[in-house]
Amino acid sequence: MVNKATKPTDNLIGRDAWNIQLDNNGHLKHFLTTEGLGTDILTQILDTAESFADINEKSVKKVPLLRGKTIVNLFFEASTRTRTTFELAAKRLSADVLNINISTSATSKGETLLDTLQNIQAMHCDMFVVRHSDSGAAHYIANNVAPNISVINAGDGSHAHPTQAMLDMFTIRRNKGANFGNLRVAIVGDILHSRVARSQIHALNNLNTGEVRVIAPKTLLPVDIENMGVNVFHDLHTGIKNADVVIMLRLQKERMQGALLPSEQEYFKLYGLTEEKLQAAKSDVIVMHPGPINRGVEIDSTVADGKHSVILDQVSYGIAVRMAVMTMTLGREKVAGDNTGDNK
């Protein structure tokens, strides 16, 4: 846990989030949130990811861009998909990867987070990939690491999950084209507890998406959600009508306090996505989900595995997007040139 004396607070989030993300030349140094980053930076991430998107098809799946760099996965929360894709992304860039088991680390024995960071950076690492249950933890770490170290936020509390949002944007762009201005995107489910939804909304608006909708019961919406530049719906059919993209979210029961829903069965009846309900969207709609999927709770298996689903594409594209972010932060002098390098 974060030491109470130095616990991250929401005052840190938003006040200087995008200021510390960029270096003096306006290049990405840390990637903590999609909020406040302009269209140019987000588009550069997508363009850079495009150069890595087909690396899975190559016989040799490595490029030498981050050879000699050391990347530390520092996960204070359990994760399979995110940690694995970060590890694969780093290895495919030829970086050395260190996975820290927090459950057996010194922080579980009483050491402060700051002491842990200082000890790890004394090993001459170059990047921390951080997941933490406290909102603001990644910002706190970025403000306290050595100047030569970059920090990527792999999810902090209910605040942000920027690489997930960008792999979602990449999935949309690959399926719908680069002009987000023509798109109507609907995000359905537990917006209140979702760091993914917040990062998606900021990214979609920064990419000038035509319309961003959120659909949920009132108990699963932040009170100020309209201020984020979205249109709010409480009825699923109305909310996804003529949508180009439907993004389903997991019910995050581990973060819920009190009875916010009558039952999972009732939630599925009203907000679960089925083939019948999906007919309200456009005929070429794509269906997305950041995972893990709760089948029969937020989405029916016929939709999750159906012709409109691009859920597995999201997982594949996550590697390319995380390669892009790592390259842009640790190899800032190289991103303007050839991102592929040689495969020898």
- In sign, the C-alpha dihedral spanning 115, 116, 118, 122 is positive
Does one domain contain both 29 and 125? yes
Q: Which of 5, 141, 171 is CA-nearest to residue 74?
A: 141
Distance CA 231, CA 211 (A): 8
* Inside any domain, residue 343: no
Does one domain contain both 137 and 176? no
Does one domain contain both 80 and 96? yes
Which residues are marked as active site?
A: 81-82, 109, 131, 161
Does one domain contain both 60 and 73? yes
Q: Which two tokens stand for residue 265?
A: 């069965």
Helical (H) or strand (E) element with 288: strand 286-288
* Inside any domain, residue 199: yes
Does one domain contain both 210 and 267? yes
* Inside any domain, residue 340: no
Q: What is the pLDDT of residue 209?
A: 98
The type of residue at 142 is A
Which residue segment(s) compose the domain that 301 sits in? 162-315
pTM of structure: 0.88
User: Between the CA of residue 95 and those of 15, 101, 122, what are the distances in Å?
Assistant: 32, 19, 18
Which domain CATH number covers 79?
3.40.50.1370
Angle in degrees, 0-180, between the axes of helices 81-92 and 162-176, rounded to the nearest 10: 80
Does one domain contain both 12 and 23? yes
* Inside any domain, residue 173: yes
Q: Which residue shows structure tokens 């029969």?
A: 296
Does one domain contain both 110 and 223? no
**pLDDT tens string for the chain (344 positions)?**
333 333 333 444 444 555 799 998 899 999 999 998 999 999 999 999 999 998 877 878 899 999 999 999 999 887 888 999 999 999 999 999 998 877 555 555 567 878 888 888 888 999 999 999 889 999 999 999 999 999 999 999 889 999 999 999 999 999 999 999 999 999 999 999 899 999 999 999 999 999 999 999 999 999 889 999 999 999 999 999 999 999 999 986 554 444 456 678 888 999 999 999 999 999 999 999 998 898 999 999 999 999 999 999 999 999 999 999 999 999 864 543 444 444 43
Does one domain contain both 116 and 193? no
Distance CA 47, CA 188 (A): 27
Does one domain contain both 230 and 103? no
* Inside any domain, residue 210: yes
Helical (H) or strand (E) element with 201: helix 195-206
Query: For residues 69 and 96, is the Cβ–Cβ distance under 8 A?
Result: yes
* Inside any domain, residue 142: yes
Helices and strands counted in the chain (H then E): 12, 9
Q: How many domains does the chain have?
A: 2
Q: Which two tokens stand for residue 242?
A: 């003529």
Does one domain contain both 66 and 107? yes
Q: What is the pLDDT of residue 18?
A: 58
* Inside any domain, residue 341: no
* Inside any domain, residue 278: yes
Does one domain contain both 325 and 308? no
State how far Cα 160 lies from the chain centre.
Answer: 7
- For every residue of 314-337, DSSP letters joined together read HHHHHHHHHHHHHHHHH-TTTTTS
Distance CA 20, CA 201 (A): 21
Does one domain contain both 167 and 237? yes
Distance CA 83, CA 72 (A): 11
